Amino acid sequence: MAKPNASSKLPDSEWAYAAIYSHSAHRAAHLQPWLQRYNCHRPHSPLQHQPPISKLNLTMNNLLSLHT
């Protein structure tokens, strides 16, 4: 059986449990902005400190592809 790596715990520690939410809907409302930052802006060390979206090789002027 494969062991989960440390990065599999990041969503819990950085989003779900990083703040106190009054109810699930409030927490859910914060998911999309967090995913945007995590996937499009936050540097990831395994990717040479680039965000995951950089692996798609999209041009920066392609707003429709970058922000859908």
How do residues 19-65 score in pLDDT, each as one tens digit?
Answer: 888 888 988 888 888 888 888 888 888 888 988 888 887 766 655 55
Instruction: Examine residue 57 and state whether it is found in any structural domain, yes or no.
Output: yes
Instruction: Examine residue 59 and state whether it is found in any structural domain, yes or no.
Output: yes
Which structural domain, as residue segments, surrounds residue 67?
A: 43-68
Instruction: Examine residue 3 and state whether it is found in any structural domain, yes or no.
Output: no
Model confidence at 6: pLDDT above 80: no
Instruction: Examine residue 48 and state whether it is found in any structural domain, yes or no.
Output: yes
Instruction: Examine residue 4 and state whether it is found in any structural domain, yes or no.
Output: no
d(CA 66, CA 11): 21
pTM of the full structure: 0.60
Instruction: Examine residue 15 and state whether it is found in any structural domain, yes or no.
Output: no
The count of domains in the chain is 1
Model confidence at 10: pLDDT above 60: yes
Give the pLDDT of residue 25.
92
Contact criterion met (CB below 8 Å) for 30 and 21? yes
